[in-house]
Structure 1
Amino acid sequence: MTASKMRGRIGYAAGLFGWVALPYLAGSVLSWQTFGAGIGPAFFPPAGVTVAAMLLNRRSLWPVIVAAIVVAELAVDLRYGAGLGTSAGFALANSVEPLVGAALVLAWCKGPPDLRERADLARFVGGAMVLGPLVGGVIAGVTTAITTGTWSVIEILHWWAGDGVGVLLIGGPILLWRFQFRLLRARMLETVLVLVAMAGLTVVSFRLGIPPALFLLPVMAWAALRLDMIGAVLCGGALAFTANSMANAGYTTFESLDLRAPGQLAIAQVFIAVVVIVAMLTAQEAAGRVTAVQQRQTERRERARLETLANLGQLLSCALTQNQIGDAVLGQVINDAGAQALAVALVNDDGTALDWLAMGGYPNFAAYQFHESVALDESTAATDAVRTGEPVVIRTVAEYRRRYPDNAKWMVASGGAAVVSWPLTAGGKAIGALVLAWADTQPLDTAQLAYTSAVGTMIGQALVRARVYADEHARAAVLQAAVLPTSPAAIPGMDVGVSYEPADVEQGLGGDWYDALELPHGQTYLTVGDVVGHGLPAVEDMAQLRSAGRALAFQGLAPAQLLVALNTFTRQASNGKFATMAVAVLDPATATLAYASAGHPPPVLRRAGTGTVIRLAGAHGPVLGPVERAWYREGHIEVCDGDILVMYTDGLIERRGQDIESGMARVQQLVAQWSGDEPLPAACRQLTQTLAPPPRDDDVCVVAVRFGAIDVNGSADR
C-alpha cells in the first residue's frame, strides 16, 4: 500500500471516530440532562448514531466506531458520577449492542438496508431496534446488579426501550437520508411546519393531560403521506424529543400504569416507536401506490411514443421532398411528444444560416420573429446544436435566460418553459436542427431524450433521401453512410472490430447492419441484423430498424423486450416486411451478457482462459415482422476479461450445397483458432474472406468484441 493511501485511510478513520464520538457525547449529555426524568436516560439518541455508522461502513472500520463509543461513554458516565466499573459495563453494553444489531441486519439484508423496502424495514426493526438493544439491556442489567446487588427486569426494559427508539428515530433518518433528502429540500417549509406542529401539539397534550394519539396521529399521517418515510421518522424524532423533555419536567401520560417510573418511561418509548413504525408503513404503502401509478403512466407514454415512431417512419418513408417531411413531422410529432411547439431548421446552401423548414405551435409574433432564417453565428439553441453537433437541453426558463439572455424575452412571451434542440445529421455532419418546446417545466429524462433522438434520426434520414431522391443509388449510398459508419465508435473498456462486405460490390449497398453503442449506467448495446432485399428499400429498412433499436436500447429495454417492440415496428414501417436480428447487452455491474435472437444465426463467445468457443443458441424467436404478438427467449452468460463475442449475418455461413449447421460449426472452428490478442478488424476481415469470398450472393457483416477487464465489483475497467 502506498504512503498516500495509508494516510488517506488513517484520515478517514480519524474522521469517522470524530463523527461518531462527538454526536455520541452530545446525545449522551442530552439524555442524562433532558430525557432522564431523574432516573437515567429514557431516550438514547447515540444508539441510532452507532448502529447507522456500522451499517454504512465496512467491518474493518467497526473497531474505530467501538473505540469512539468507549471513549465517549466513559467520559459521560464518569462525569455524571458513575463508578469506573459501572462505566466500563455500560461502555461494553453500548458497544455490543450496535455490533449485534448491525451484524444481524447486514446478514439478513445482504448489505446495508433500504428502509423504503418493507422487508428491509422489518429486518432493521428486528435486528437493530429489538435484538441489539435487548442484548445491551441485559449487559447493562448485569452491570447494575453487580454494582447495586439488586436485579431488576424493569431496568432492562428501560434500557431496551430507550435505545430501541433511539435506533429507530436517529438511525432511521441517517439511513434514509441518501435516498430522500431531496424530498425534504424540495419541501423545506412544509417539513419545518410539520416538525414544529408535532412538537407544539406534544407539549399541549402533555400539559393538558389529553391522550397524545388524538393530536399526534393526524400530524404523523400527514408527514408520512407528504414527506415519505424520512418525514415520518423525523416527525417521530420531534415527538420523542418533546415527549421525553416533558417527562423530565414532570409531565407524563402513563402514570396510571401500575409500574415504577422506569417502566412508565419504557412504555412511553414503545408507544412512540409503534406510532412511528405505523407511519413509516403508511409512507411505504403510499409510495408504492404512487410508484405503481407512475409506472402505468410511463408505460402508456412509452407505448404512445413507439406508436408515434412507427407512424412517423411510415410517413417519412413516403416523403420525397423537404416540404413533405416538414408536414409529416408537424402532423405526427407535435402532439404525441407532448410538446406545445416544434420547428425544423436546415443549414442553407452557403452554410451561413439556418432556414426554417417547418414551424408549428408558436404564437404568431414569435413565429414572425424567426420567420425566415437565423444566422449560424447567432447564439440560439438551434444554431448551437448545429455548430457543436450536440443536443441543447434546457429544462427551465431560468436556465434559458442564463444561456440566451438576448432571446429570453421571446421564450417568456411565448409561454415556453423547456426546450430541446437536437442536431439533424448526415454522414456525421450537422445539417439542421429539430427544436421541441414545452409550456411546462420538463424533466427531459432519458426516455424523452431517446424519443427526441429517434425522431431526429428519422428526420435526418428523410432529409437525406429528399435531397438525392432523383438518383436511387446516390440516395441509398448517402443514407447508408449516414447511419452505418465504416468503423465503430470507440467504447471505453472494449475492443471492437467490424467487417462489412455487401453482395453488390460495385454499388456497395445492402440491408445488413451492426451497432455498438454505449448506454447509460455503463451498459453496452451490441447488435447485427439483416433485412430482406438490396438497394434503396433494404437500406431504408436497415436505417429505420437500426435507429429504432438504438432508441429502444436507450430506454433500457432488455434484449428480448427490445425484439418484441421492434417486431411491431418492423411490421408497420418496413418495406421488406421482415428482418432478422441478434441483440446483446453487456451489464458491467454483474459482468453478464444478456442476448436474444429474432431468426438470426446465434453469436459465438470465445473464452479467453481456455480458447473454448461457445455457441449462444439458447435464446431465439421468430423473425421480425410477420408474427403478431411474437415472443422471444432471452439468455444470460457471464463474461470475463479477454472474452471475445462474435456476431455475424447469414451471408457468412449460407452456401449452395452446404447446410447452415456446417457453416456455424466452421465459424466456431475458425474463431477457436484465434490467439485472443489479434487485431479484431483484421480478424473479422480474414473470417469473411475465408468463409464468404467474392463473388457473394448475400451481404456479410461480422462484428467481434473483446471485453475489457471486469473488476471484483462487477464494473468494467474504464
Structure 2
Amino acid sequence: NSPVRGRDGSVELIVHRVEDVTSFIRGREGGAAPDEGLGPRTANMDADLYIRARELQELNEWLRQAHARERETALTLQQSMLPASPPEQHPYAAVRYRPAVGSLNVCGDWYELTDLSDGRIAVAVGDVVGQGLEAACVMGQLRSALSAATRVTQGPAQAMEVLGRYARFVEGALAATAVQVVIDPVAHTVTYSCAGHPPPLLLQVQGAVEVLDQATDPPLGARSEDVPRPQAAIGYAPGATLVLYTDGLIERREEDIDVGLTRLIRSLARHRGLRPEPMADAILADLGVTGGPAADDTALVVIGL
C-alpha cells in the first residue's frame, strides 16, 4: 500500500496485490520484457506502476517546493518582525541570529532592545515552542507585548508578569520562555527576571563570569498568577560584558545542557577584552554555530556595558 497526498490535501491509498508485485519484480530480475512471460495482468501492472511512480515523483517534488516556500516565508516574516538594531542606534550591542537549516523548525527565537526614557536600556530574548509560520506569529505577538509592557511597568519582573498573563490568551504561547534585563548605566546595575529561559551571563571586568540565575521562574503561562515573579540585581564596573542567548546556542543532543552552558562560560572568559561584535563571532565559533546546518534556532545578544 502506498499513501499519497493530493494537491488539495486529501490522502489516497494505492493498493497493489502482493503476488502481483512479487511476480513483477521476479520477472524483472529474470530479465523478462514487460510483455514476455509475465502474463497480461502483470504486463498491465507494469504500465500502472510506471505511471504511479511518475505521479509519486512529481508529488514529492511539489511537496518539497511547498515546504521550501513555507520555510522561506516563515524566515522572512520573522526577520521583518525582529528589530534591525543598526550600529549607529545601538553601538554597544552585537546581535546574531542563526535559523535552523534544512527543516521547518524556525521562527521561535526572538530578541528585543528597548531604550527607556530615563536612560536605561531593556534587553530581552525569548523562545516560542513550535515551528514555522505559527511560531513566527506567536513570536511577533509576544515581542510586541513585552516591548509595550516594558515602557509602562517598573522593572523586568512586572514586565514579565504582564507578558505571562498575556501569553495565556495567545494560542501557542504557553510554555514559551523569555528573560529580560534592564541596564542602568548611571547606577551600573543590571536588573533581571527570567521565565524558564537559560540565564544571562555577566563578564566582569576582572574576568569573573556571573551566572544570572537568582530570579528564575517557570515559563510563560505555567505558574500561579497569585505569586509575583522574582527579580534580582547585580552591579558591574564599566567595561563589563552582558550576554543573552537562546538554548540553541548551548543545547546539544545526548548532552546535558549544563555542559553547553559551561562551554559558553569558558568561551566568554577566554575572549575577555573583545568588543561586542568580534566577541559575538568568537562565541559562535567556539560553540559551533557558524552558519552551517543547525538543529535549532539560535539568537545571541552581546552588550558592552
TM-score clears 0.5:
yes
Q: Which one of 191, 194, 211 corresponds to residue 594 of structure 1? A: 191
Which amino acid is the alignment partner of residue 690 of structure 1?
D
Q: Is the 8 A contact 1:586 1:592 kept in 2?
A: yes
Q: Give 1:615's aligned residue.
A: 211
- Equivalent-residue separation in structure 1 for 2:138 and 2:256 (angstroms): 28
Q: 1:510 deviation in Å?
A: 1.7
Q: Give 1:627's aligned residue.
A: 223
Q: 1:553 to 1:515 in 2, by over 3 A?
A: same
- Equivalent-residue separation in structure 2 for 1:539 and 1:479 (angstroms): 7
Instruction: Normalising by structure 1, report the TM-score.
Output: 0.31
Q: Give 1:547's aligned residue.
A: 144
Q: Give 1:580's aligned residue.
A: 177
Q: Which one of 502, 510, 517 corresponds to residue 114 of structure 2? A: 517
Q: Give 2:265's aligned residue.
A: 668
Q: Give 1:570's aligned residue.
A: 167
Q: 1:547 to 1:675 in 2, by over 3 A?
A: same
Question: What secondary structure does 1:499 align onto?
Answer: strand
Q: Which one of 656, 659, 669 corresponds to residue 253 of structure 2? A: 656
Q: Which one of 277, 284, 295 corresponds to residue 697 of structure 1? A: 295
Question: What secondary structure does 2:239 align onto?
Answer: coil
Cα shift readout 1:100-146 (whole Å, capped 9, x = no counterpart) = xxxxxxxxxxxxxxxxxxxxxxxxxxxxxxxxxxxxxxxxxxxxxxx
Question: Are 1:605 and 2:187 an aligned pair?
Answer: no
- Equivalent-residue separation in structure 1 for 2:252 and 2:104 (angstroms): 22
Query: What are the within-5 Å matches in structure 2 for residues 5-16 of structure 1?
Result: none
Which amino acid is the alignment partner of residue 559 of structure 1?
P
Give the number of equivalent residue pairs: 234
Q: Give 1:333's aligned residue.
A: none
Q: Which one of 252, 269, 278 corresponds to residue 682 of structure 1? A: 278
Which amino acid is the alignment partner of residue 481 of structure 1?
Q
Question: What secondary structure does 1:537 align onto?
Answer: helix
Q: 1:505 deviation in Å?
A: 5.5
Question: What secondary structure does 2:216 align onto?
Answer: coil
Q: Is the 8 A contact 1:568 1:628 kept in 2?
A: no
Q: 1:585 to 1:491 in 2, by over 3 A?
A: farther
Q: Is the 8 A contact 1:491 1:518 kept in 2?
A: no
Q: 1:592 to 1:598 in 2, by over 3 A?
A: same
Which amino acid is the alignment partner of residue 684 of structure 1?
A
**Percentage of identical aligned residues:** 36
- Equivalent-residue separation in structure 1 for 2:74 and 2:127 (angstroms): 16
Cα shift readout 1:456-490 (whole Å, capped 9, x = no counterpart) = xxxxxxxxxxxxxxx74465344312211455564
Question: What secondary structure does 1:670 align onto?
Answer: helix
Question: What secondary structure does 1:520 align onto?
Answer: coil
Which amino acid is the alignment partner of residue 696 of structure 1?
A
Q: 1:650 deviation in Å?
A: 0.8
Q: 1:690 deviation in Å?
A: 2.6
Q: 1:665 to 1:488 in 2, by over 3 A?
A: farther
Structure number with higher relative contact order (C-alpha < 8 Å, ≥ 6 residues apart):
2
- Equivalent-residue separation in structure 2 for 1:519 and 1:685 (angstroms): 28
- Equivalent-residue separation in structure 2 for 1:627 and 1:512 (angstroms): 21
Question: What secondary structure does 1:522 align onto?
Answer: coil
- Equivalent-residue separation in structure 1 for 2:87 and 2:135 (angstroms): 23
Query: What are the within-5 Å matches in structure 2 for residues 296-375 of structure 1?
Result: none
Question: What secondary structure does 2:169 align onto?
Answer: helix
Q: 1:652 deviation in Å?
A: 1.1
Question: What secondary structure does 1:593 align onto?
Answer: strand
Q: Give 1:93's aligned residue.
A: none
Which amino acid is the alignment partner of residue 209 of structure 2?
V
Question: What secondary structure does 1:676 align onto?
Answer: coil
Q: Is the 8 A contact 1:621 1:631 kept in 2?
A: no
Q: Which one of 64, 75, 78 corresponds to residue 480 of structure 1? A: 78
Q: Give 1:350's aligned residue.
A: none
Cα shift readout 1:444-464 (whole Å, capped 9, x = no counterpart) = xxxxxxxxxxxxxxxxxxxxx
Question: What secondary structure does 1:681 align onto?
Answer: helix
- Equivalent-residue separation in structure 1 for 2:222 and 2:199 (angstroms): 20
Instruction: Normalising by structure 2, report the TM-score.
Output: 0.70
Q: 1:626 deviation in Å?
A: 2.8
Q: Is the 8 A contact 1:516 1:525 kept in 2?
A: yes
Question: What secondary structure does 1:623 align onto?
Answer: coil
Listed as ranges, the gaps of 5+ residues in structure 1 are 1-470, 708-718
Q: Give 1:207's aligned residue.
A: none
Cα shift readout 1:469-521 (whole Å, capped 9, x = no counterpart) = xx7446534431221145556446x5101111111357794210111121111
Cα shift readout 1:196-230 (whole Å, capped 9, x = no counterpart) = xxxxxxxxxxxxxxxxxxxxxxxxxxxxxxxxxxx
Q: 1:575 deviation in Å?
A: 1.9
Q: 1:583 deviation in Å?
A: 0.5
Question: What secondary structure does 1:582 align onto?
Answer: strand
- Equivalent-residue separation in structure 2 for 1:541 and 1:488 (angstroms): 24
Q: Give 1:6's aligned residue.
A: none
Q: Give 1:559's aligned residue.
A: 156
Q: Is the 8 A contact 2:174 2:221 kept in 1?
A: yes
Query: What are the within-5 Å matches in structure 2 for residues 488-527 of structure 1?
Result: 488=86, 490-491=88-89, 495-504=92-101, 509-527=106-124
| Greater C-alpha Rg | 1
Which amino acid is the alignment partner of residue 503 of structure 1?
A
Q: Is the 8 A contact 2:74 2:106 kept in 1?
A: yes
Q: Is the 8 A contact 2:161 2:228 kept in 1?
A: yes
Which amino acid is the alignment partner of residue 163 of structure 2?
L
Listed as ranges, the gaps of 5+ residues in structure 2 are 1-68
Q: 1:487 to 1:507 in 2, by over 3 A?
A: farther
Q: 1:545 to 1:488 in 2, by over 3 A?
A: farther
Q: 1:695 deviation in Å?
A: 3.1
Q: Give 2:16's aligned residue.
A: none
Which amino acid is the alignment partner of residue 682 of structure 1?
P
Which amino acid is the alignment partner of residue 499 of structure 1?
R
- Equivalent-residue separation in structure 2 for 1:627 and 1:591 (angstroms): 31
- Equivalent-residue separation in structure 1 for 2:104 and 2:195 (angstroms): 28
Q: 1:523 deviation in Å?
A: 1.0
Which amino acid is the alignment partner of residue 175 of structure 2?
F
- Equivalent-residue separation in structure 2 for 1:576 and 1:518 (angstroms): 25
Q: 1:660 to 1:477 in 2, by over 3 A?
A: closer
Q: 1:657 to 1:477 in 2, by over 3 A?
A: closer
Question: What secondary structure does 1:586 align onto?
Answer: strand
Q: Give 1:535's aligned residue.
A: 132
Question: What secondary structure does 2:168 align onto?
Answer: helix
